[in-house]
Amino acid sequence: MEPGSSCLPLCYENISWRGLSLPRLLNVHILPQTVLYMADSDTFISLEECRGHKRARKRTTMDTALALERLFPEQCHILGIVTPGIIVTPMGSGSSRPQEIEIGESGFALLFPQIEGIKIQPFHFIKDPKNPTLERRRLTEAGLLDNPELRVVLVFGYNCCRVGASDYLQRVIGTFSDLNVIVAGGQVDNLASLTSEKHPLDIDATGVAGLSFSGPRVQSATVLLNEDVSDEKTAEAAMQRLKAAGIPERNTVGFMFACVGRGSQYYRAKGNVEADAFRKFFPGVPLFGFFGNGEIGCDRIVTGNFVLKKCNEVKDDDLFHSYTTVMALIHLGSPK
């Protein structure tokens, strides 16, 4: 695949880290400019080996991240996060059934090529008790401020159980949440990588990372499945709201950010309810995401003429939730 192609990002699932068995990544016929990968906590950290040993845990995480990153071009921007569980559409076609993997080793990588008319930028802000100021210059460099073409922000707070972490996450998001953009994401266990070989990470730090999507060809919509959504009927009703947004489904990827408290236990021991509801209404759109420790998003639409509106009336437009799921569609433009 040549740079500049407007194809949908290639996706790779079921990443197996033990012994670094990644043959599928070695056969990628694309030059990625940006990589977003997500893996469950068991994949990165062997609890039996590392319980109670902070140095061993840190070494395991960094070694795994570095080994993966060496498979990608040196100039590639890589963002990796570690979460309690994974949502992934198996390789093949977008019509494959997406899977909610709540327990067990799992992961995926999304490879974004250079896409004409679209700019994807990673960002990372680390909480510094000695310097609490958020520099406007850094927000602008990440495309989050002074950017009239900003359309979507995927945002992830990590190590959010630490004192002051949630407040810092809300401060960062507060700088751009009132703009006409889609904001979606959640709180995860750790940041595994932001091209870690070039910028060594302190996995015990607290911060905010993500991707910004800019360009007039980008369209997006999100819906919030609140605590009242607890059966197949109400889950499908939420997907109907997302469908009503009218986002083009070709060259589109779906994201699902769910609370770790949902999944099968929330649906009376029935698994894959929300992923199956998404597939019913979007059978050709691949779905990816995670089970995390807090969700970010609400009902919003950014259409082709860049009009921000809500799919339905939301009582509280607060972006931060628990025991909910945020579903998102990101359309990366139609092929010319």
Element (H, E) at 153: strand 150-158
Quick one: pLDDT at residue 65? 76
Strand order in the sheet with 182-188: 119-126, 207-214, 150-158, 182-188, 295-296, 320-321
Quick one: pLDDT at residue 59? 53
Domain boundary among 214, 249, 279: 214
The pLDDT tens digits for 244-270 are 999 999 999 999 999 999 999 999 989
The pLDDT tens digits for 275-309 are 999 999 999 999 999 999 999 999 887 655 444 44
Determine phi and psi for 327, rounding to 5 degrees.
-105, 135
Least confident of 217-221, 269-273, 299-303, 307-311: 307-311
Looking at the fold, whether 127 and 185 belong to one and the same domain comes out as: yes
Q: Is the pLDDT of residue 132 over 90?
A: no
Q: Is the pLDDT of residue 5 over 60?
A: no
Which pairing describes strands 150-158 and 182-188: parallel, antiparallel, or unpaired?
parallel
The total of structural domains in the chain comes to 3
Q: Is the pLDDT of residue 177 over 50?
A: yes
Radius of gyration, alpha carbons of the chain: 18
Sign of CA pseudo-dihedral 67, 288, 209, 181: positive
Domain boundary among 197, 214, 231: 214
Looking at the fold, whether 188 and 252 belong to one and the same domain comes out as: no
Q: Is the pLDDT of residue 163 over 50?
A: yes
Mean pLDDT of 29-57: 66
Is 4 within a domain?
A: no
Q: What percent of the chain has pLDDT over 90?
A: 49
Q: Are 257 and 184 in contact (CB under 8 A)?
A: yes
In the block, tokens 């609370």 appear at 259
In the chain, % helix, strand, coil (3-state, to 5) comes to 20, 35, 45
Please name every residue paired with 20 in a beta bridge, in sequence order, or none if there are none: none
Quick one: pLDDT at residue 314? 41
Q: Is the pLDDT of residue 122 over 70?
A: yes
Axis crossing angle, helix 273-281 with helix 232-244, rounded to the nearest 10: 40
CA distance 142 to 284: 31
Q: Are 129 and 167 in contact (CB under 8 A)?
A: no
Looking at the fold, whether 89 and 65 belong to one and the same domain comes out as: yes
The pLDDT tens digits for 47-105 are 444 444 454 455 556 777 777 777 788 788 899 998 999 999 987 666 789 999 998 88
Quick one: pLDDT at residue 198? 56
Domain boundary among 113, 141, 169: 113
DSSP 80-134: EEEESEEEEPPSS-TTSPPEEE-SSS-EEEEEEE-BTTBEEEEEEEE--TT----
Residue 313: band (very low, low, confident or very high) from pLDDT cuts 50, 70, 90: very low
CA distance 164 to 245: 36
**What DSSP character marks residue 13?**
E
Chain-wide mean pLDDT for the chain? 81
CA distance 82 to 160: 13
Domain that holds residue 165: 119-214
Q: Is the pLDDT of residue 33 over 70?
A: yes
Quick one: pLDDT at residue 242? 94
Looking at the fold, whether 135 and 66 belong to one and the same domain comes out as: no
Mean pLDDT of 139-165: 91
